């Protein structure tokens, strides 16, 4: 281990940002290389807190809490991302891959977060990026389903945020560790977690949304949202007794609804609820074996459920059909799809030497060790129901039931990259089943459990055999029908539809009325008043101002002319006359004394003559 910490989620975000700007060859390299690089960073990092960011001097945002629990979830998320990218290589639209990278990166951010603020940020990023995988689908009702999905997860996010505010106000800390099993704050946080885990009655969003996602996007959706919810339950509420009956109910609830389901991806979606029920129950039991069981089952479930979804998505892509009543006989035309799907079917059903056998059995064994026979019995019953629908009913009615030739629809195996994606998942399901120690050594606690005991293997085969016999005995009664299964989503569907009607009808009508009144009483009179004001301003005030300006201009012109021709003329002539007189007088100043005496004598003579005349 080394101390270098490169958050794999950051690598995924950078990959999403780079995809639109690189050539096709580099796009393939990014899609395949970044998940591998993210996995390698997790192999090299040391345990402890990494990426710690001080917050307001007293709190810390922890982006990289590394321990065995977070690492095992990080490993499987990066593996699932690689499988999903391989499966979707034929898709040329960048936005699907970008949404997948952001979704997976946000899931990694949630798993490695050590504080509530970081969890909430990535929690909401998961919700919005996963919704894009629904909006990008080509189905007729994708937009409507996507909005319902967002409404539900925004509500869950508000529950989580309210709980965080109350909890932080009570404790003064944003650190995310084991939480109290009482108090308003922790209970609201728990409600937000349970909604993402699809715990009934907050579960209907999953079979409503997942089947409507894109052909390849469902691989990411089946892997990430519910399993990150399982992680935070294990981290924050391990040992909470209330979760045990909830988990058992989930396991049975999903199986029962799968009985009547006709849509192939919706049927698998109900089995996600069922399988997550095992993990929720194990989180509630809280023992070391139970936590190990929940963790290992989450790891295995991500892989085999992704494989099952890839198989049925391939069927939808190649046939254009998605209902059991429309399918049948495909084994002749899609043999590789059938064989790879069955690996996932064996794994989810708990067949020995497949991944589900070594993970699911640990949860059931934990219940037995804790002396809870009713839990182990009901979970075993749910396991038999899973094999009945996912391992028998679904492949039978899709690949064998009717003669496909009669439907005159061509079908073949999907593109090679999709088969390779399924092949990688099938290999992982088989490898874990054959070499369980590879998974067990990464679990949070030391594993003292051996799945391959004689009694366990024989017991598993007995249950599977009896289930298969019952299936073929009741085959006619299990024929799919064109039914619509009502789930708890009808309540919020009606509520959302009513809300939309309320917005579109009464609210819009009221808004239009207020707008019209405002227009008639305020806008139109204001316009008229402004026109009158403009007229007065233009012809009165502007006229007076302009006239005053012209008068001032005329007065200035007259003043200028008077100044130039009268004042300046007079002033200029006086000095001119003085100058001329001075020139004449200057001639009298000769400087000779006799001239001056002569002038004086002449003056006296002139004075005497004048005096004599007058006097």
How many domains would you assign to the chain?
Answer: 2
Indicate whether 98 and 171 sit together in one domain: yes
What token pair was written down for 477? 């009664």
425 lies in a domain? yes
Instruction: Write down which residue in 170, 197, 232 finishes a domain.
Output: 232
Residue 244 and residue 109 share a domain: no
Q: Does residue 42 lie within any of the structural domains? A: yes
Longest dimension (CA), the chain: 178
Q: Are residues 109 and 142 in the same domain?
A: yes
Question: Are the beta carbons of 146 and 135 closer than 8 angstroms?
Answer: yes
* 445: its two tokens: 């606690």
In this structure, are 303 and 223 located in the same domain? Answer: no
Model pLDDT, residue 567 = 66
**Would you say residue 602 lies in a domain?**
no
56/161 same-domain check: yes
pLDDT at 93: 87
Q: State which residues form the domain around 345.
A: 238-484
Decide: helix, strand or coil at residue 263. strand
- Three-state DSSP at 238 gives coil
Reported as a single tens digit per residue, the pLDDT across 60-111 is 999 999 999 999 999 999 999 999 999 999 998 899 999 999 999 999 999 9
pLDDT at 591: 57
Q: Are residues 383 and 343 in the same domain?
A: yes
Residue 393 within a domain: yes
Q: Which residues contact 24 (CB under 8 A, 6 or more apart)?
A: none
Preceding omega of 201 cis (within 30 degrees of 0): yes
Tell me which residues of the chain have a pLDDT lower than 50.
none
Distance in angstroms (rounded) separating the CA atoms of residues 199 and 202: 5
55 and 197 housed in the same domain: yes
In this structure, is residue 546 part of a structural domain?
Answer: no
For residue 563, being part of any structural domain is answered with: no
Both tokens of residue 464?
């599977």
Q: Do 200 and 261 share a structural domain?
A: no
Q: Does residue 545 form part of some domain? A: no
The closest of 257, 294, 288, 319 to 485, measured between CA atoms, is: 257
State residue 284's pLDDT score.
96
Instruction: Please compute, for residue 302, the number of CA atoms within 13 A of its CA located in the half-sphere on the CB side.
Output: 31
The per-residue pLDDT for 30 is 96
In a domain, 604, yes or no: no
**Residue where a domain terminates, one of 184, 200, 232:** 232
- What SS3 class is residue 202? coil
Model confidence, pTM = 0.80
Does 176 share its domain with 254?
no
Model pLDDT for residues 466-519, shown as the tens digit of each residue: 999 999 888 877 777 776 665 665 565 566 666 666 777 787 777 777 777 777
Same domain, 221 and 257: no
pLDDT at 589: 58
Same domain, 369 and 318: yes
If asked whether residues 228 and 312 sit together in one domain, one would say no
Exposed, middle or buried by CB within 10 Å (0-12, 13-18, 19+), for 558? exposed
- The whole-number pLDDT of residue 566 equals 66
Whose CA is closest to 313, among 233, 214, 402, 188?
214
Q: Which of 445, 468, 484 corresponds to the end of one domain?
A: 484
Which three-class secondary structure string do you get for 450-494? CCCCHHHHHHHHHHHHHHHHHHHHCHHHHCCCCCCCCCCHHHHHH
Residue 322 Ramachandran class (φ > 0 left, ψ -120 to 50 alpha, else beta): alpha
């Amino acid at each position: 281990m080394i101390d270098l910490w490169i958050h794999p989620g950051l690598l995924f975000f950078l990959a999403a940002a780079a995809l639109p700007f690189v050539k096709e060859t580099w796009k393939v390299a990014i899609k395949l290389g970044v998940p591998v690089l993210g996995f390698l960073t997790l192999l090299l990092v040391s345990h402890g807190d990494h990426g710690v960011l001080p917050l307001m001097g007293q709190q810390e945002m922890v982006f990289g809490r590394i321990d065995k629990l977070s690492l095992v979830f990080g490993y499987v998320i990066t593996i699932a991302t690689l499988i999903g990218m391989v499966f979707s290589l034929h898709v040329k639209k960048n936005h699907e891959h970008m949404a997948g990278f952001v979704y997976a990166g946000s899931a990694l951010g949630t798993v490695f977060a050590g504080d509530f603020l970081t969890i909430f940020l990535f929690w909401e990023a998961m919700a919005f990026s996963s919704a894009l995988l629904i909006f990008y689908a080509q189905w007729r009702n994708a937009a409507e389903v996507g909005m319902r999905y967002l409404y539900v997860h925004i509500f869950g996010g508000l529950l989580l945020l309210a709980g965080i505010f109350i909890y932080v106000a009570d404790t003064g800390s944003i650190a995310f560790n084991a939480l109290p099993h009482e108090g308003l704050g922790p209970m609201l946080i728990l409600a937000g977690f349970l909604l993402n885990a699809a715990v009934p009655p907050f579960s209907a969003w999953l079979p409503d949304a997942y089947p409507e996602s894109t052909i390849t996007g469902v691989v990411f959706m089946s892997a990430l949202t519910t399993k990150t919810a399982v992680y935070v339950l294990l981290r924050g509420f391990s040992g909470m007794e209330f979760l045990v009956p909830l988990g058992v109910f989930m396991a049975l609830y999903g199986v029962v609804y799968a009985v009547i389901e006709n849509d192939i991806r919706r049927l698998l979606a109900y089995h996600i609820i069922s399988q997550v029920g095992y993990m929720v129950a194990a989180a509630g039991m809280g023992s070391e074996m139970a936590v190990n069981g929940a963790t290992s089952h989450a790891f295995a479930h991500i892989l085999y459920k992704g494989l099952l979804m890839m198989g049925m998505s391939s069927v939808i892509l190649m046939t254009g059909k998605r209902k059991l009543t429309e399918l049948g006989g495909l084994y002749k035309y899609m043999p590789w799809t059938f064989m790879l799907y069955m690996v996932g079917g064996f794994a989810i059903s708990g067949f020995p030497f497949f991944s589900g056998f070594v993970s699911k059995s640990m949860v059931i064994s934990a219940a037995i060790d804790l002396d809870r026979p009713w839990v182990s019995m009901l979970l075993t019953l749910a396991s038999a129901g899973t094999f009945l629908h996912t391992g028998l009913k679904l492949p039978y009615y899709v690949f064998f039931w009717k003669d496909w030739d009669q439907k005159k629809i061509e079908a073949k195996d999907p593109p090679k990259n999709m088969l390779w994606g399924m092949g990688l998942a099938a290999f992982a399901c088989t490898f874990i089943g054959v070499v369980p120690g590879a998974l067990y050594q990464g679990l949070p606690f030391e594993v003292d459990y051996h799945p391959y005991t004689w009694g366990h293997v024989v017991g598993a085969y007995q249950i599977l055999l009896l289930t298969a016999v019952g299936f073929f005995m009741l085959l006619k009664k299990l024929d799919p029908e064109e039914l619509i299964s009502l789930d708890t989503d009808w309540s919020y569907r009606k509520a959302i539809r009513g809300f939309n009607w309320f917005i579109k009808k009464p609210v819009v009508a009221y808004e239009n009325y207020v707008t019209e009144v405002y227009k008639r009483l305020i806008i139109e009179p204001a316009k008229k008043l402004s026109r009158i004001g403009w007229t007065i301003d233009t012809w009165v005030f502007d006229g007076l101002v302009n006239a005053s300006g012209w008068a001032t201009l005329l007065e200035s012109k007259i003043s200028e002319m008077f100044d130039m021709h009268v004042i300046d003329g007079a002033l200029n002539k006086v000095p001119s006359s003085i100058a001329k007189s001075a020139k004449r007088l200057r001639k009298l100043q000769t400087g000779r004394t006799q001239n001056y005496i002569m002038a004086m004598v002449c003056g006296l003579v002139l004075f005497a003559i004048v005096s004599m005349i007058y006097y």
